[in-house]
Amino acid sequence: MKNNYKVNSKLALLFVIAFTYVGSSQNTDQEQIKKLYDVALTEGAGYNWLNYLSNQIGGRLSGSIQAQQAVNYTKSQLDSLGVDKVWLQPVMVPKWVRGTPEFAYYETSPGATTNVAICALGGSVPTPQQGIKANIIEVDGIEQLAILGKDKISGKIVFFNKPMDATQIDTFTAYSNCVDQRYAGAEEASKYGALGVIVRSLNLRLDDYPHTGSMGYGEQPESERIPAAAISTNGAELLSTSLKLNPEINFYFKQNCKQFNDVESFNVIAEIRGTTKPEEVIVVGGHLDSWDLGDGSHDDGAGCVQSMEVLNLFKKTGYKPKHTVRVVLFMNEENGLRGGNKYAEIANANNEKHIFALESDSGGFTPRGFTIDSSDKNFEKILTWKNLFEPYLIHSFEKGFSGADIGPLKQEGLVLAGLRPDSQRYFDHHHAENDTFEHVNRRELQLGAASMASLVYLVDKYGF
């Protein structure tokens, strides 16, 4: 009986010690995470960095002078943080130039024209110098091309008018369901003899901003490539209505964009070296390039400065990570993914061990949570930290896509994650002239940075 009593007493004592340790650890985590949020909201530098990137440099299309200015600026700011190492990683990137502003109208009868707002899609070939004027035919997706056939399409301009699905609460799902018409529409339409394509902007609201974005021609020879442009959603609605009244409408558009030879650019990289496991790397990043119509504040200046802020917050709160925490500002996500591929290539060549990678490329709006690309076991571990984020209204932890730039790193055992802000307004600005600094709220931006720093802190402390 005495022996049983002693055993039970020891078990009870061990339970108390374990419970006390877990409670103490939880309290420590709460305190550190609160510090990260407090400092981000009161002393964070991200909003000021974004102000400079947006208003002093502007749109940062790969291969442009502005892209190089952004490389120089972000490197200098990371140098000023007093981190252990800052460097540039060379990468060859495509250089596509829009040229003079595009022009378009449709003609309902000789001399009766209506101007519409368009912009060339990134990577498109130009129109002939005099432009293209032809009958225009509307389709609601790539699939309809085969139904119509060459007889009805040859010699015409194809108008892709499949809208984003407004019933989707996750606007990225709505985007994914119709982005194929932007990326592959020209390649597919040319197979049926089309002279050019006009694509409805991927935007959930009706406005006058055409939204650009990448497109490709696959293996098509240059002689078969046709020009592609986006039309604003208001323009698309007007054109569609007019076609219903008069299917014989002619459409005219002119653009003089040009593709040059690849040029050298850089990924910008900085790190705090780990205190006990420096050989294991945690990456956090966004893409430094942007489209040229706006200043790229949401896509993806926000993600870049939030990633830089992670290092800044660790320095300001005195947190010294066990693992090496590395910020990577990737070049050329928008029209090539060269930066992400180069970083993964060099990391693999150097036999670097990455344990976690987090990307922010969904805008600088209010953070809602994270999407996680991992094994079930590692995802379950992340879910045990969810209660630590709930005071900051971060509730959504779901398995899903992480980010384009960190995707090339994917291998067994590596956990990938993406910051997920509220997405309802993101596509109002995505790849358009109104992706500008005044549409970013400082508090929302800094909350996102603190959320990223908090998740990195927990991964660093507990690992997988």
Per the structure block, which two tokens stand in for 237? 């609605």
- Tell me the torsion sign for CA atoms 115, 212, 445, 234: positive
Alpha carbon distance 240, 304 (integer Å): 39
In degrees and rounded to multiples of 5, residue 9 shows phi and psi of -65, -40
Per the structure block, which two tokens stand in for 217?
């021609």
Nearest 5°: phi and psi at 231? -115, 145
Q: Which bin fits 404, alpha (ψ -120 to 50), beta or left (φ > 0)?
A: alpha
CA distances 16 to 168, 181, 195, 334, 462, Å, are 49, 61, 76, 54, 22
Residues 6+ apart with CB under 8 A from 367: 392, 394, 419, 420, 421, 422, 444, 447, 448, 451
- C-beta of residue 423 within 8 angstroms of C-beta of residue 291: no
Which residue blocks in 350-437 are alpha helix, DSSP H? 376-383, 386-389, 426-429
CA 216 – CA 220 distance, rounded (Å): 9
Instruction: Report angle CA 59, 64, 65 to the nearest 5 degrees.
Output: 90
Helix (H, G, I), strand (E, B) or coil at 6: helix
237 assigned to active site = no
What is the distance of C-alpha 340 from the center of its chain?
A: 12
DSSP state of 264: E
Residue 169 CA to residue 135 CA, distance in Å, equals 37
Q: Which of 138, 271, 309, 333 is catalytic?
A: 333
Buried b (16+ CB within 10 A) or exposed e, 391-412: ebebeebeeeebbbbbbbbeee
Alpha-helical regions (H) of 259-363: 302-317, 338-349
Which tokens in the block code for residue 428? 């109002």
Catalytic amino acids? 333
